[in-house]
Amino acid sequence: MQQQQIERINELARKSRTPEGLTEAEKAEQAELRRAYVQAVRGSLVSQLENTTIVEPDGTRRPLRRHTRG
């Protein structure tokens, strides 16, 4: 996500708290920007976790496994 998009998210958040609020088009833009932001954060977290290793007490390293819900 680009810095310009984050600044726009913040701009819309500030405007939403004013008495005039957001137009319907701005609300749709805000929802899309938030969706993209959450997707970027999740992608970054997944990437970080995929590159995480567990160091066992004996010094061996093993990759962090993906946990499945069940």
In this prediction, residues 44-54 reach a mean pLDDT of 92
C-alpha–C-alpha distance, residues 6 and 12, integer Å: 10
64 confidence band (pLDDT: 50, 70, 90): confident
Nearest partner of 52 among 40, 43, 41, 62, judged by Cα: 62
User: What are 13-38's pLDDT values in tens digits?
Assistant: 999 999 999 999 999 999 999 999 99
| pLDDT score recorded for residue 26 | 96
| pLDDT score recorded for residue 70 | 60
| Residue at 20: amino acid letter | E
pTM reported for the whole predicted model? 0.73
List, in sequence order, every beta strand (DSSP E) within 19-70.
53-55, 61-63
Ordered by where they begin, the domains of the chain are 3-63 (1.10.287)
Distance of CA 62 to the CA centre of its chain: 27
**Is 64 or 27 the better-scoring residue by pLDDT?**
27
